[in-house]
Amino acid sequence: MVLSPNERIDQEASRLWLEAKSMGRFTHAHPLRDEVSRRLFEHLQAMILNPKDWMAWRPLSGGSRSMRELSLRFPKSRGHFWQESPLARQAVLEAQKPQSLRQWSKRFLSLSRSNQAQPLLDFTPDSMDLIWSHLGLHNEFDPIEVFKTWARLLRPQGVAVFSCWGPDTLKELRSLYASLGWPQAMHPLVDMHDWGDLLVQNGLSDPVMDMEYVSLTYDKVDVLLSDLRLLGRNLNPARLGSLRTPSWLKVLRVALEQERLKAGGRLTLSFEIIYGHAFKASPKALMAKEVQVSLHDMKAQLKNRPVR
């Protein structure tokens, strides 16, 4: 599977969603997003981690609760985050500030246990022990370059931990769009095994991948649509190319309502959730990559090899 450069995702739409469009939703809690974060933290339990420096990769994708949990989990560590645009960086900084007097008092009492993560402005090699990416990787236009960057950033034995949506996500919505003759409801998503291969091919090693399904049910169409707006965007280059009209939205609502009634009063959205982690590959492992030599070159090398 060729992912970079790719036709899987609209590059500009990806940049806007990861850096701008999700800013207003960063502080909005969502049960699924927070539950996936909790389960991703469970993956850390099997590892002995005492990072000096950790980094949240594009935390706007995963929500502010995940960022706060990182600070609490590693109170003596230096926290960092990376967002490309200054406005996005400022949004993350603002979200970390206490919003009430009660929060301020809690913050004051826990200053020794929790520090505000600071923006990362350059990719200094070998500077991080842990990289955390929560529900953002499936929206990256160039995931290969992302993995290469993680490999450069991590110190030896450092680990990258991530969660993302898998290919079966929103299969019900995709089926509905197909029945209406519309283009795809979302961009193609990458399989768990392909993520593992890409990690190994781009500077990371010993990947551990896991997957599970979670279903959300709704008794109201508008609540389902609100969740879809909060949780992501359709970045498919072949998506409908114009702005949606009120008449289009009416057709979608009617179709969803018909599906709800057929299903006994509740709509279902399925999410395939992929969890993974991988370590920085040692220089020895990187040198062990396959090298191809032609038979002609091999004969020439043997012919010119000095005899001792």
pLDDT tens figures, 250-301: 999 999 999 999 999 999 999 999 999 999 987 765 444 444 445 455 445 4
Q: Which domains does the chain have, with CATH numbers?
A: 11-303 (3.40.50.150)
| Residue 25, pLDDT score | 77
Q: How far apart are CA 192 and CA 62, in angstroms?
A: 19
pLDDT band of 194, cuts 50, 70, 90: very high
pLDDT tens figures, 227-246: 999 999 999 998 988 888 99
Give the burial class of 134: count Cβ atoms within 10 A of its Cβ; 0-12 exposed, 13-18 middle, 19 or more buried. Answer: buried
pLDDT band of 100, cuts 50, 70, 90: low
Q: Provide the 10 A C-beta neighbour count for residue 67.
A: 24
pLDDT band of 102, cuts 50, 70, 90: low
Sheet of strand 267-280, all strands in order from the earlier edge strand to the far edge = 118-119, 78-82, 53-57, 128-134, 154-165, 267-280, 204-218
Q: Provide the 10 A C-beta neighbour count for residue 208.
A: 16
Q: Which of 79-88, 168-177, 208-217, 236-245 has the lowest mean pLDDT?
A: 236-245
pLDDT band of 1, cuts 50, 70, 90: very low
Mean pLDDT of the chain, nearest integer: 86
| Residue 95, pLDDT score | 86
Beta carbons of 119 and 81 less than 8 angstroms apart: yes
Closest C-alpha to 88, from 132, 22, 156: 22
| Residue 288, pLDDT score | 43
| Residue 108, pLDDT score | 47
- Residues 112-118: what's their mean pLDDT? 69
| Residue 281, pLDDT score | 83
| Residue 6, pLDDT score | 57
| Residue 104, pLDDT score | 46
- Residues 150-174: what's their mean pLDDT? 97
| Residue 250, pLDDT score | 97
Q: How far is CA 275 from CA 187, 206, 209, 250, in A?
A: 19, 14, 6, 36
pLDDT band of 106, cuts 50, 70, 90: low
pLDDT, greater one: 149 or 23: 149
Beta carbons of 83 and 106 less than 8 angstroms apart: no
| Residue 284, pLDDT score | 62
pLDDT, greater one: 178 or 296: 178
For the chain, the maximum distance between any two Cα atoms, rounded to a whole number of angstroms, is 85
